[in-house]
Amino acid sequence: MTIQEEIVDWLDERESRFVGIANQIWEHPEVALKESYAAKLQADDLAADGFAITFGIGDLPTAFMAEWTQGEGGPVIGFLGEYDALPGLSQERTATQQPIVADGPGHGCGHNLLGTAALAAASVMRAWLEHSGTAGTVRYYGCPAEETGEGKSFMARAGAFDDLDFALTWHPASTTTPWASSSLASSKIRYRFHGRTAHAAANPETGRSALDAVELMNVGVNFLREHMPEKARIHYVITNGGGAPNVVPDDCEVWYYVRSPERYQVDELLERVHNIARGAALMTETTVDINFQAGSYNYLPNLTLTRHMSEVLNTIGGIEFDAEEVAFAQQIAREYDEGLRLGILKADFLDASYLDRGLTGEVLPIMDEGMVLSGSTDVSDVSWNTPVAQVFTSCFVLGAPGHSWANTASSGMSIGHKGMMHAARVMAITAADAVADPALLAAAREEFAASTAGRPFVSPIPDDVKPRRPA
């Protein structure tokens, strides 16, 4: 029996174990940094499987590492998992929008699947090393707060990934294909302005408005947009704009994301945004606190491992969805405007022939090599510490928006479970091949060394910034 056959059989025999974990996390959605249920559930499962568990990685209470070692001198293999949900995306397992809890959280990005597939890959990799007598270390990283870009960035700053030979992960999607593009580096900062309160009608001249400072800062940043790299992005939300119109607000805050294709570009833009904030404070005779929350690099795909993932996908084939699943997905798709769905399909490199299909399980070739993804991911910080490869598998409805109730629905049912198990197979087989073929692993390491030559990883998070503690 080949390595691939052994891994596929082992996962198939234990599918109910992993589907059960994914469903429990789906039924107990927890937002960023509050994922205590999911983290404990996964840690307990891996502890029962023989892994040693360490919590609090990177000073994050819901981050943990599960580790199993056999022999000496073998490669150290990492699998990256996530389990945070998104606010406001609570949803029944139905084809129309029906929240379980009004405004409650839900797994609209499929992280109940993401973490579980990575856990499954780590578990089968442990079993394969033990069965074959091969030396090596397997690690599963339970990574919180991907949605807010905090988890892996703080873990990377703490050196959690420094000694890995390589790491693998994946993401639920509406297609099945390797992920070969880069992403935007990013920083998240909160600007809190302090002024002097006053009665807005009786004696406004004595007040110094923190809200004026926030608004002037936003105007200044909007003028900055003309003078930044084409693919850069800056967006904000006012998190505190004061309490009442007749009171000059003395304490206001605005939360910014700054993104660009390269880390150095973000750093340069960030200093300009800081200066705009300082200028707004000067204009309004207020003061400003600049509170750095999190930051990450641009993703550095390891094409050696990514191309091997593509070969694995082509060997094991696609995902088979049944008629009931397709009909369910088609019903969901009809809940969204056709023009919206066409735009999403185009972004996924699909043409209009996919519009009414609902689902596709076919294996697609690498389509995004050399491109820059419009979003950001904290997987990027891992990719600057060790070779990383990722894969997408079909878990979502074709044309449905990301971070939507539709994704929550399919993440909690067989559609998502099939994509999850397929991702586990791809990651585990890729990892086993890299261990069994020293030339493949050496080539991945050589590519990583060349890509990072003269550009060592330096965490963008200042040393004095601690992970936030959610209320």
3-state secondary structure of 163: coil
Question: What class is the 3-182+298-452 domain?
Answer: alpha beta
Range(s) of the chain covered by CATH 3.30.70.360 = 185-292
pTM of the predicted structure, to 2 decimals? 0.95
Residues 196-205 have pLDDT tens digits of 999 999 999 9
The CATH number of 185-292 is 3.30.70.360
**Sign of the torsion formed by the C-alpha atoms of 347, 351, 357 and 362:** negative
pLDDT at 471: 78
Rounded CA-CA distance 4/462 in Å is 44
Range(s) of the chain covered by CATH 3.40.630.10 = 3-182+298-452
How many Å separate Cα 177 from the centre of its chain? 17
Going by C-alpha positions, the residue among 450, 386, 374, 438 that lies closest to residue 160 is 386
Number of H helices, E strands in the chain: 14, 11
3-state secondary structure of 217: helix
Write out residues in the chain with pLDDT < 50, as ranges. Answer: none
Going by C-alpha positions, the residue among 107, 146, 15 that lies closest to residue 411 is 107
Cα distances from 295 to residues 155, 180, 467, in angstroms, run 12, 22, 11
CB 337 within 8 A of CB 458: no
pLDDT at 470: 85
CA atoms in the 13 A half-sphere facing the CB of 268: 11
